[in-house]
Amino acid sequence: MPMRRRDLLIGTAAALAGCPVPAPEPVAAEPSPARQPSPEAPEPEVPLDLELFPWGVVVGEVTAGSALVRARVVGQDRCALVVMRWEGAWVEIGRPELSRRGFTCPHVLSGLRADTPYAVYAVRGSRRSRVTRFRTAPAAQPSRRIRFGASSCFGGANPDMENVHYVVEHDLDFFLLAGDTVYADGSHTREEYEASWSVQLERPVMSDLFASTSTLAIWDDHEVANDWTREEGANDYVSPEQLRTAIQVMEEIVPQRRGPVGFYRTHRWGDDLEVFLLDCRSERAPGQMVSEEQLAWLETKLPASTARFKIVVSSLHVTDHYPILANIRVNERWQGYPDQRARLVSLLASVPGSFVITGDMHFGSVQHLDPEGPGATVVEVAAGPSGSTLLPIEQMVELRVEGLPSHYALVLESWSWCLFELDPGTGGVSVQFIGDTGEVLAAHAFAP
């Protein structure tokens, strides 16, 4: 009998629990409290000008005391940034002058209060941008629940990306961009990359997303070119000059802090969450998904983390998908690099509180990394796609296996983004896949 979507989403809801793996013990019996709702963004009296400011202010890499800001003002080299803080009412606390560097006017906000709502907008003369609101990270204990969103693959097959519209309704701590935020394929020059990003950020749902919360971002391939490589002579080769141009434009638009060596880095959200953001693109070599230095860095940093939750963000899937996908695009997932994958899986299994968020493959899912062995204790959540062509994963399941393999909880062939809630008190994680009408398409809970 053919497998129905209900079988994939609901009939397998207990699949993770059904694996021969003992359930993790909760950290504590008492749930952590939810944080107070953030206030609505203020509406300044200054007239809005979407031609001068075609998208709002992009805020990213927010900590307990700082935030990175990017403002785009057309045809001008300077603007002012109005900074407001919630103190029972919106209070203006600063108006720094910003100067253009490259495509945008960058700025670092510092001296911010922990776990506090802020709002910012850019001003030039008597005109302003949209207002962007964000919340700073908690400083320390007491713990509270953390709510964040995640997605990937914001392509044009679903041009309205209506699922992204519903991000604004969930009052998130931040939103994780897990790769392919823009499809800049065919771009080579600075002007072409700038144009690709401009088209993407001027889409109403993307403007709404960036105005509603701060972001954490990694890249995948389409920020540069489809399945690009640095291997000279290959069909997908990109020159060092093109790569530098793509990186410069991306960093000028979506704020990212550099790590100690390259793009890979960690980001702390209070005492309870540390996010490990990997670079799975720029360090490729024969037999290697990432450099030896990056993998050794993760092998040092992940076990040393004192956070209750440790999320490793990889643009590419870590899971053993062979029972469903066989060797399809195996070099575009960790499975094509077995030695490094074995080290990564062993590391994740050895560090309590760890799980993985990925993108790239154009289907949503929740599963353990392997059906047995160390990977059977580690959960991966594939977030997205929000807009790119869907992989016919349900048909592949029907053709290859009788039902889902035992290490899968669900697979989802729909455009969506993921809403996560982390509860430090119980040690629990819940994830909901939000679809194009705002409904919850699938949900799962686990304790890493």
The parent domain of residue 202 ranges over 5-33+142-446
User: For position 117, what pLDDT does the model report?
Assistant: 98
The tally of CA atoms less than 13 A away on the side-chain side of residue 368 is: 28
Give the rounded distance of the alpha carbon of 170 from its chain centre.
16
Q: Is residue 14 located within the same domain as residue 71? A: no
Q: Using 50, 70 and 90 to split pLDDT, how confident is the model at 2?
A: very low
Q: Residue 142, preceding bond cis, omega within 30 degrees?
A: yes
pLDDT at 10 over 70: no
62-72 in b/e form (b: 16+ CB < 10 A) is bbbeebbbbbb
3-state secondary structure of 80: strand
**Does residue 277 belong to any structural domain of this protein?**
yes
Residue 20: what pLDDT?
Answer: 35
How confident is the model at residue 401, as a pLDDT? 63
Least confident residue range of 44-53, 134-143, 411-420, 426-435: 134-143
The residue among 135, 151, 185 that closes a domain is 135
Question: Can you tell me the mean pLDDT for 183-203?
Answer: 97
The verdict on residue 51 lying in a domain is: no
Domain assignment of residue 44, yes or no: no
**pLDDT value at 120 more than 90:** yes
Q: What is the pLDDT of residues 167-182, one digit of tens each?
A: 999 999 999 999 999 9
DSSP 162: H
3-state helix, strand, coil in the chain (%, to 5): 25, 25, 50
**pLDDT recorded at residue 28:** 46
Q: Kindly report the pTM of this predicted structure.
A: 0.94
- Tell me, what's the pLDDT at 74? 96
- Shared domain check, 415 and 354: yes
How do strand 117-124 and strand 132-135 relate by DSSP bridges? antiparallel
Residues 16-22, mean pLDDT to the nearest whole number:
37
Is the confidence at residue 4, as pLDDT, over 70? Answer: no
pLDDT at 140: 81
Determine, yes or no, domain membership for 47: no
- Are 162 and 264 members of one domain? yes
Q: What is the pLDDT of residue 421?
A: 99
Domain boundary among 85, 118, 135: 135
My answer on whether 151 and 257 are in the same domain is: yes
Residue 45 resides in a domain: no
Q: Residue 295 and residue 313: Cα distance in Å, rounded?
A: 13
CATH of the domain at 124: 2.60.40.10
Cis-peptide, bond into residue 159, ω within 30° of zero: no
Query: Residues with Cβ < 8 Å from 164, sequence gap 6 or more?
Result: 151, 154, 205, 206, 208, 209, 386, 387, 417
298 plus 413 within the same structural domain:
yes
- Higher pLDDT residue, 225 or 258? 225
The pLDDT score that the predictor gives to residue 260 is 79
Phi, psi for 229 (deg, rounded to 5)? -140, 155
Q: What is the pLDDT of residue 151?
A: 99
pLDDT reported for residue 104: 97
Tell me, yes or no, whether 212 and 109 share the same domain.
no
Residue 320 and residue 358: Cα distance in Å, rounded?
13
| Residue 97 domain-assigned (yes or no) | yes
Which of 118, 135, 152 is where one domain is finished?
135
Q: Tell me what the mean pLDDT of segment 2-28 comes to.
A: 40
Q: What is the DSSP string of 120-140?
A: EEEEETTEE---EEEEPPP-S
Can you tell me the mean pLDDT for 15-35?
57
Contact (CB, 8 A) for 117 and 86: yes
With 80 as the cut, is the pLDDT of residue 6 above it? no
391 within domain boundaries: yes
CATH (domain of 17)? 3.60.21.70
pLDDT tens, residue by residue, 198-228: 999 999 999 999 999 999 999 999 999 999 9
**Tens-place pLDDT, residues 353-397:** 999 999 999 999 999 999 999 999 999 999 999 999 999 998 899
46 in any annotated domain: no
pLDDT digits (tens, 9 = 90+) for 325-360: 999 999 999 999 999 999 999 999 999 999 999 999
**pLDDT greater than 80 at residue 49:** yes
Mean pLDDT rounded to a whole number for the chain: 92
Question: How much is the average pLDDT of 442-446?
Answer: 98
State whether 96 and 65 are in the same domain.
yes
Specify the number of domains making up the chain: 2
